[in-house]
Amino acid sequence: MHVSKQWKPGKKTVELTPAQRPSRIRRDPPAGAQSAAEGERKLQWWDSDGGEIGLALIGILLFALALDVIVLAISDYTSR
């Protein structure tokens, strides 16, 4: 079999190695980043210290103790 002319495709060939894309990593912080941090500070209307942590721990322990008492009371009532 003998081919008389060269094959000329109608479509453009696809490049196998894509071109380098520019980096999407931001080098500078966004324009509103500093003002957002200041806005968050303005929204914080309380000043926390160690006292709230102690009160929270005491509340959690008392709640756990109350649940234990309730479970023991139900267990004692149903065992009779």
pLDDT per position as a tens digit, 16-53 = 777 777 777 766 666 665 565 666 666 666 667 778 88
Looking at the chain, the number of H-run helices and the number of E-run strands are: 2, 0
Q: Is residue 4 situated within a structural domain?
A: no
Given a cut of 70, whether residue 58 has pLDDT beyond it is: yes
Q: Is residue 74 situated within a structural domain?
A: yes
Q: Is residue 56 situated within a structural domain?
A: yes
Q: Is residue 71 situated within a structural domain?
A: yes
Q: How many domains does the chain have?
A: 1
Q: Is residue 29 situated within a structural domain?
A: no
Domain of residue 73: give its range.
51-80
pTM score over 0.85: no
Supply 38's token pair.
Answer: 């200041």
Q: Is residue 43 situated within a structural domain?
A: no
Q: Is residue 65 situated within a structural domain?
A: yes
Give me the DSSP letters along 42-56. Answer: HH------HHHHHHH
Q: Is residue 25 situated within a structural domain?
A: no
